[in-house]
């Protein structure tokens, strides 16, 4: 009887290890998805901030300088 018990134990451990690996992979996928969503949200926030700053700079410029990204147009 001890022989059968010792044969069953590695199977259980193998199944447990598989379950642990699948659980860790699932957690990694969830974290990666959350990180991607946060990065996309931050990117849109940065674009909005840049747009507002450019509008503010255009309004406060005394020489009617239009600033568009890296280019400046004097008019």
Question: What is the structure's pLDDT at 15?
Answer: 83
SS (H, E, C) 52-69: HHHHHHHHHCCCCEEEEC
Per-residue tokens: 18: 């598989």
pLDDT band at 3 (very low <50, low <70, confident <90, very high): low
Task: Reduce the DSSP state of residue 74 to 3 states and report it.
Answer: strand
| H helices present in 1-75, as ranges | 2-60
Token pair for residue 64? 């009617």
- 67 — phi, psi (to 5°)? -105, 120
The pLDDT of residue 5 is above 70: no
Q: Residue 75's pLDDT band (boundaries 50, 70, 90)?
A: very low
The full set of domain ranges for the chain reads 2-74
Inter-CA distances, 21 with 16, 17, 26, 60, Å:
9, 6, 9, 58
Q: What is the pLDDT of residues 7-61, one digit of tens each?
A: 555 666 778 889 999 999 999 999 999 999 999 999 999 999 999 999 999 888 7
């Amino acid at each position: 009887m001890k022989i059968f018990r010792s044969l069953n134990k590695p199977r259980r451990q193998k199944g447990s290890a598989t379950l642990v690996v699948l659980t860790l992979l699932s957690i990694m996928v969830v974290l990666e998805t959350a990180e991607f969503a946060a990065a996309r949200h931050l990117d849109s926030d940065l674009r909005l901030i840049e747009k507002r700053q450019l509008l503010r700079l255009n309004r406060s410029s005394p020489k009617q300088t239009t600033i568009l990204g890296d280019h400046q147009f004097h008019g």
